[in-house]
Each structure stands twice: as structure tokens, then as C-alpha cells.
């Protein structure tokens, strides 16, 4: 008798499908009440040391990317900063990984593990660089590969950046399943996993996060070797949280010294990421608040029962920049440093340029990653697409930008200024979402301990947050 493949039936089997497709028994990490043992999950589900992961990655064209000083951008920041301010700005040039982004790190470990466990293929659902990374690594391991991509609106119009990534995936030999925006993405993804029996190379498995730990580890070791010290600040572009989580974990494994971890997202306030009418009114498919805020405040909205990407455990500060500021930073990197990289990865560069002006000249700030650029990913292509969709593009003060209506490119670099999000408010939202989604009958000491780890706050903060939501 054939299985019921209706939307409702497939969605009801999603946890079983996920467990089979990643080979992880998530139930074994659950607490009796609220939450789960995160560190045990990371240790048991992905039992690879930093040294082992580095060996796996380096054998497959990933890792050991250079840490470059942006001397001319630093000089510009110092011209704009108060006297004695203007930290040295460095960038970890992850575009030099095979496939062109830091996501090659998580793909390398996922594909290695899939091959080791006897899977014949891998599947991932992504419109971003991760699809190209998985396709690249699958080719190296001789694995079949399917990329499920949310690509078009209901009129069949696709963003140039997403279409560019589809071409890259196909160039690596992957099959690309392109869908319109909406709930069909996850349903189709689940059906493919169940029908093929392939490995779920999710962004949010322990393998996906452990693979990025080498990035944070390298930042520390390269900084110590080149500069004789660890950086003061590392800025990570934040979307689903895996980038920041993995980098921070790697930093902690490399040094006991304090390194401030700052998350940066593009401000897309007011735009709904699953809206058909708004899908093509944004110029960034990742690294924006439409992913950054929801996934920070409730990580387990991902495609696995428990996400390994949990940024509030590690984030010291969370800032936003506007689309126009990121496009300016992209052009600035090209014009001043001779390095042409894709706009989404320059979210953290725009933020670092502003934050460097707050810090003393002897401080070091690291932009944690870059991404490749190409015909559809180039900022000129994205700006042209925005203009064709009725978005006003002009020079001025980026703080007047309205997402979905305008892109305001700074008329002067002094106008690039980060906006701080209320991290305490974000953490309280995370606590509330855990309570509302898991509905514990009572709050135990174990529950409070989990929430303390989840948002990196003390017991008093947790109890006050619970009191505010009448718990």
C-alpha cells in the first residue's frame, strides 16, 4: 500500500523523516521538561575534533583562507573617527574556498559524514550559497545531489542572485528543483528526502555547525601568528544563526581570551520573507532581519527537530545596517582594496566600518567572511533588478531607507552607522517562544538552567523574564 503523500500526511511525518535522513536520534538529548542538552548533542552527533575537521576540509578544497588587513578602508575609517579612534580592520577571505563562501565548511563535513554513513546522495533546501557548497562537495565525494530552491514569485520572476546560484549548483552536477515562494518548499523537501533516502545536508545539523568551528579557530590562530594577539571584535553576518554560532564556538576552542562577538543583519523591517508580493522587493536573500530575528528568538523553527544554530548563546551585540550601506561597502571593498566580493557577505564589512570608528586605533576588528560574486550576484545586477521592481534608488542618508520601497546609498561614508538592536528584548522573546511552543506544565530548576544557557544570562534575568510573561 502506497504512503499518503498529501501535504498534511507528509508534514505529520516530518520528525521521523528528519531523523532517518540525518541519522541522529534527537530524542536522546531531550530533557524531561523544557529544552535539551545542546552540548551533548554537539558532542555525540558530530564526534569530530577541530583537527579532524580541518583535515577533512583541507583535503577537499576548504579552509585555511587568508586573513587580510584592509589598510585603505581602515585609513578611511580613521579619517571619519574621533581622534585616536579607528580600529584596524581585517577580513577573513572565505570567497577563496571551493564554491566561494564559508558555507563550504559546513558542506564539507556534512558530505563527508553522509559518505561515511553510506548515504548515496544528499539533499538540501536553500536559495543561497549553501546549495553551491553542497553541490561542490557532493561532486568531490561522488554523491548524488538535489538542491531544493525557493526561486520565483507567482509570476515566475526569479531574483538574479538566486538564479545565479542555481546555475552554479547545476555546473557542479546537482539537480536543482526550483519552486515559487510559499509552504511548498518544506513539503517538497520532505517528500524528496523520504522518496530518495538521501542524507539531509541541513544548515542546522550538528555537522553543519561543527564545520564552521574551523573558521573561528583559524581567525584566532592566524591573528596570533600575524599580529601576536587575538582580535578584540569579530563581526559575523547573521541569518539563520549557524554562521555566528559555529564561528563563536571555534573561537572559544582556540582561546580563553575574551573576543567580542557581534552579529550583523541587513534591516528588512516590514518585509515578510514568505510573501509572494514582497519576495522580489528585497535585495538580500540572506543575512537579513527576516531570518536573523526569527531564528535568534526561536532556533527550532528549522528543518531539524533541534537546531544546532543557537546564536543567542554566543552573541554579545546585535546590530543592523541598511541595504544601501551594504552596497556602498561592496563598492568600497572593490575600489579601495581591489577585492570584488558579493554584497551579502559585506553586511559584516559595513557594520565593521562603523564599529571600528568607536574603537581605539590599537584595537583589531575582524570581518568574519566574504562570499564570491558573479553575474547575478553582482551588486550592479541586484540594483538593476530592484529598480525594475519599482524600488527607488538614490544617494542620501541611508537612515531614510524604507525596505521594499527604497535603497538609499550613502552620499558620504560618514553616514554608514550601525543601529543596535535591544539584545535583552531579543533574549526575552526567545524565552517566551520556548514557553509558548513547548508548554511546560511547570518550570523546574532544570528548565531555568537550560534557558540560562540558551540566552547566556544569569538566573535573575530568566526569572524576571518569566515574571513578565506571567510564568
SS percent in the chain: helix, strand, coil, step 5: 50, 15, 35
The grid cell for 172 is 557542479
- Same domain for 450 and 338: no
Classify residue 432 as exposed, middle or buried by CB count within 10 Å of its CB (0-12, 13-18, 19+): middle
Please state, in angstroms and as integers, the Cα–Cα distance from residue 356 to each residue in 63, 87, 235, 240, 352, following that order.
Answer: 26, 5, 11, 25, 6
- Same domain for 292 and 195: no
Q: Which of 142, 172, 206 is the last residue of a domain?
A: 206
Q: At what angle do helices 242-254 and 103-116 cross, to 10 degrees?
A: 90
Other beta carbons less than 10 A from residue 68's beta carbon? 16
Decide if 29 is inside a domain: no
Among candidates 201, 199, 157, 200, which has minimal Cα distance to 178? 157
- Same domain for 331 and 226: yes
Q: Which of 380, 395, 420 is the last residue of a domain?
A: 420
- Same domain for 226 and 200: no
> Alpha-carbon torsion 106, 112, 115, 116, what sign?
negative
- Same domain for 377 and 335: yes
The grid cell for 351 is 557594520
Decide if 1 is inside a domain: no
- Same domain for 403 and 268: yes
CATH, residue 116: 3.40.50.1100
Strand 364-367 with 392-396, pairing: unpaired
- Same domain for 343 and 375: yes
Alpha-carbon distance 113 to 460, whole Å? 41
Domain interval for residue 185: 7-22+51-55+101-206
- Would you call 264 helix, strand, or coil by DSSP? strand
Phi, psi at residue 222, to the nearest 5°? -70, -40
* H or E element at residue 67: strand 67-69
- Same domain for 78 and 107: no
Decide if 41 is inside a domain: no
Residues of the chain with pLDDT under 50: none
Decide if 45 is inside a domain: no
- Same domain for 174 and 108: yes
The pLDDT of residue 439: 79
Q: Which of 183, 206, 229 is the last residue of a domain?
A: 206
For the chain, what is the largest distance between any 2 Cα atoms, rounded to a whole number of angstroms? 76
The grid cell for 40 is 551533548
Decide if 288 is inside a domain: yes
- Same domain for 213 and 274: yes
- Would you call 393 helix, strand, or coil by DSSP? strand
The grid cell for 264 is 550583523
- Same domain for 301 and 223: yes
The grid cell for 48 is 569530530
- Same domain for 464 and 406: no
Decide if 371 is inside a domain: yes
Decide if 2 is inside a domain: no
Domain count, the chain: 3
The pLDDT of residue 1: 54
Alpha-carbon distance 379 to 391, whole Å? 15
What does the buried/exposed string (b/e) look like for 336-366 if buried means 16 or more CB atoms within 10 Å of the residue's CB?
A: ebeebbbbbbbbbbbbbbbbbbebeeebbbb
Among candidates 204, 199, 185, 272, which has minimal Cα distance to 7? 185
The pLDDT of residue 244: 98
Q: Which residues contact 242 (CB under 8 A, 6 or more apart)?
A: 106, 203, 204, 208, 209, 212, 308, 309
Question: Across the strands, what pairs with 317?
Answer: 262
The pLDDT of residue 62: 98
The grid cell for 420 is 543596535
Q: Which residues contact 175 (CB under 8 A, 6 or more apart)?
A: 144, 145, 146, 147
Decide if 251 is inside a domain: yes
Alpha-carbon distance 129 to 286, whole Å? 9
Among candidates 387, 380, 317, which has minimal Cα distance to 343? 380
pLDDT tens figures, 257-316: 999 999 999 999 988 877 888 888 888 888 999 999 999 999 998 888 899 999 999 999
Amino acid at each position: 500500500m502506497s504512503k499518503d503523500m498529501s501535504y498534511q500526511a507528509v508534514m505529520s511525518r516530518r520528525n521521523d523523516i528528519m531523523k532517518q535522513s540525518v541519522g541522529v536520534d534527537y530524542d536522546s538529548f531531550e530533557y524531561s521538561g523544557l529544552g535539551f542538552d545542546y552540548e551533548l548533542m554537539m558532542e555525540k552527533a558530530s564526534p569530530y575534533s577541530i583537527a579532524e575537521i580541518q583535515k577533512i576540509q583541507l583535503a577537499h578544497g576548504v579552509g585555511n583562507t587568508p586573513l587580510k588587513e584592509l589598510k585603505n578602508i581602515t585609513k578611511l575609517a580613521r579619517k571619519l573617527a574621533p581622534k585616536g579612534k579607528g580600529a584596524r580592520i581585517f577580513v577573513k577571505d572565505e570567497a577563496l574556498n571551493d564554491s566561494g563562501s564559508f558555507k563550504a565548511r559546513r558542506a564539507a563535513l556534512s558530505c563527508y559524514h553522509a559518505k561515511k554513513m553510506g548515504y548515496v546522495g544528499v539533499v538540501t533546501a536553500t536559495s543561497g550559497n549553501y546549495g553551491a557548497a553542497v553541490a561542490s562537495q557532493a561532486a568531490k565525494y561522488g554523491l548524488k545531489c538535489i538542491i531544493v530552491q525557493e526561486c520565483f514569485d507567482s509570476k515566475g520572476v526569479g531574483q538574479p542572485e538566486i538564479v545565479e546560484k542555481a546555475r552554479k549548483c547545476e555546473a557542479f552536477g546537482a539537480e536543482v528543483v526550483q519552486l515559487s515562494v510559499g509552504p511548498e518548499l518544506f513539503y517538497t523537501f520532505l517528500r524528496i528526502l523520504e522518496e530518495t533516502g538521501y542524507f539531509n545536508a541541513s544548515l542546522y545539523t550538528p555537522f553543519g555547525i561543527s564545520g564552521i568551528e574551523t573558521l573561528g579557530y583559524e581567525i584566532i590562530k592566524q591573528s596570533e601568528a600575524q599580529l601576536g594577539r587575538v582580535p578584540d571584535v569579530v563581526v559575523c553576518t547573521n541569518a539563520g544563526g549557524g554562521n555566528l554560532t559555529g564561528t563563536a564556538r571555534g573561537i572559544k576552542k582556540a582561546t580563553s581570551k575574551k573576543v567580542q562577538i557581534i552579529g550583523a543583519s541587513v534591516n528588512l523591517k516590514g518585509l515578510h520573507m514568505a510573501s509572494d508580493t514582497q519576495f522580489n522587493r528585497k535585495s538580500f536573500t540572506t543575512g537579513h532581519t527576516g531570518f536573523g530575528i526569527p531564528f535568534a528568538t526561536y532556533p527550532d523553527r528549522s528543518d531539524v527537530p533541534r537546531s544546532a544554530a543557537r546564536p543567542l548563546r554566543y552573541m554579545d551585540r546585535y546590530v543592523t545596517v541598511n541595504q544601501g550601506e551594504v552596497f556602498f561597502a561592496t563598492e568600497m571593498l572593490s575600489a579601495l582594496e581591489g577585492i570584488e566580493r558579493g554584497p551579502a557577505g559585506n553586511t559584516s564589512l559595513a557594520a565593521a566600518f562603523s564599529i571600528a570608528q568607536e574603537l581605539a586605533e590599537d584595537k583589531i576588528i575582524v570581518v568574519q567572511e566574504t562570499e564570491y560574486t558573479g553575474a547575478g550576484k553582482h551588486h550592479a545586477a541586484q540594483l538593476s533588478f530592484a529598480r525594475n521592481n519599482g524600488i527607488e534608488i538614490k544617494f542620501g542618508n541611508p537612515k531614510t531607507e524604507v525596505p521594499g520601497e527604497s535603497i538609499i546609498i550613502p552620499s558620504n561614508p560618514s553616514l554608514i552607522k550601525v543601529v543596535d538592536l535591544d539584545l535583552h528584548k531579543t533574549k526575552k522573546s526567545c524565552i517566551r517562544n520556548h514557553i509558548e511552543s513547548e508548554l511546560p506544565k511547570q518550570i523546574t530548576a532544570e528548565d531555568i538552567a537550560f534557558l540560562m544557557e540558551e540566552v547566556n544570562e544569569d538566573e535573575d534575568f530568566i526569572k524576571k523574564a518569566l515574571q513578565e510573561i506571567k510564568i
